A and B are shown apart, each in its own frame.
Chain A
Amino acid sequence: MTNEEIREQIDAIFESAIKHSAVTEHGDLVVHVAVEQFLMLMAYLKQNRDYDFDYLSQITGVDYLEMDPDREFRFDVVYELYSMSKDHHIQIHVGLPEEEPTLPSVYHLWRGADFPERELYDMFGIIVMDHPNMKRLLMPEDWEGHPLLKDYPLTVEEVAFSHNPDHKSELIKTPEDMKVDPWA
């Protein structure tokens, strides 16, 4: 089955849920899906014997804040799926809004989604529903903020040198907060 055939079939079955689908000039199959129908599409891709997308290669989050501020969705989550037996390759994009970005977990379809989904939350603050062990992965558990967001400050300015104390971000700690009692 060629990429073009898969694209046509998915378009026909999921109709309006598919925002955009294309086979790029490099021959990659890329499908943009609405978040409401996302889990159904993923389950269909995994369970349909003709496609047999049994392997999840990776999950990438992208924050489009700086690139295109007027974009409908601020975030895109990109899934790379392969079929080990049929040699297919598909890229699924899900758009998520700035306010409470939430999407369902695919952990019960591909166990390999465990770490990448936790990383999504850790780095972008994207909430992944029904994940069995949702907590921070790379950053410390008490870390504030999500580092790969485009509006995450690259350097933290100490309050003592701030010119506008009303404007301070949540990240800025007062010298009082910085003090740690090692015996506490």
Chain B
Amino acid sequence: MSESRTKTIRTDTLARVEGEGAMHVRIESGRVTEVELRIYEPPRFFEAFLRGRDFSEAVDITSRICGICPVAYQMSAVTAMESLCGVTVDGQVRELRRLLYCGEWIESHALHVFMLHAPDFLGFDSAVAMARDHPLVVANALALKKAGNEVMRVVGGREIHPVNLRVGGVHRAPSKRALATLIDGLERAREIALDAVTLTAGLEFPVYEQDIELVALAETGRYPIDAGPRIVSTAGLEITPPEYPDHFVESHVPWSHALHSLRRDGGSYLVGPLARFATSYEQLTPLAREAAAAVGLHPPERNPFRSIVVRAVELVHAVDEALALIAAYEEPDAPSVTVEPRAGVGHGVSEAPRGLLYHSYKVDADGTILEATIIPPTSQNQTAIEADLRAVVERSLDLPDAELSRRCEQTIRNYDPCISCATHFLTLEVERC
């Protein structure tokens, strides 16, 4: 390639990410000079919609931010309100919520691992093309995803935008018998998830390591999913959810409407499967730990391309834990407790499939929301995605443009970015000057 020539490569719609945005990479004289992840429409509008609404409504309003991870939004919202009002939801009602969240993880991870990300590694343009050569893999993926959908339907009332969560608990606790109908599907799903660990571990990974702080929710004895008392990191951070704003700050960049979240000292960090795996490996179920160990996966895993294997391990965990929760389930005496509003600020954190999701609400004494802040995982990972793209492009300058574009897309998909919480089109543009 001539260094004096300007070359632009565009992929008009980058498919297989959760949502749409734009990516611009500029290469001058063999050096990457600009990497911008452009996100057009952030969930800030939701923060504005929420002002003036009742504190009990945030759970159903924020659910609409994302069709892939609605439970994450719901759980962060209810946790924020409950912590503000001094209520702790525990016992079987918490377990039901956690079970619902496991359903979302299964559904979301199955979609991403098999339908969105695996085609990158196996050299297919889409899951449909992959299905022609690997029908069994795709059929199994559908069965796995369906097991997650069924959990969402039975516990959440429906699989997209579930309606059963509320401040103080759930609207209706399903019967033990209703949950038992999920067991067969989940048992098969567990076998498929175990196979998925072996399958994904056998893929070919670019040699690349990322030295970045990994941040996740944590709870003694439990893998971080629905809630947790601490936020921890591989750099020794250990704070409570209300302390989050003291340590992380959102800043605006000119090329994106979505805010970039950084550590207050300016450092970038990463949330998501790699972070959870690094900080809570010991809390995975024994089966999930064994599956990881069997393929040589140990914490911390720092190659973002191997996040697909970590997601597969988390699939094993989510299915395994869902089965345990169902086995131990007893119908609670009451599906919810009464929560009286209180003036103040509430903070809620949960682990969406793609990473830590922070909500905070300022509420007045009659329960009216005065301010809302929602920091989704993709907004926290944006800086890391850009840094990765820069590094990956710099190492891959000798690739033909089409290959380089594909490698960039694969890099973006390492983070399963839920840009749908925010944007319209992901256009990939590589410009060589």
| Chain B associates with chain A | no
Residues on A facing B (Cβ under 8 Å): none
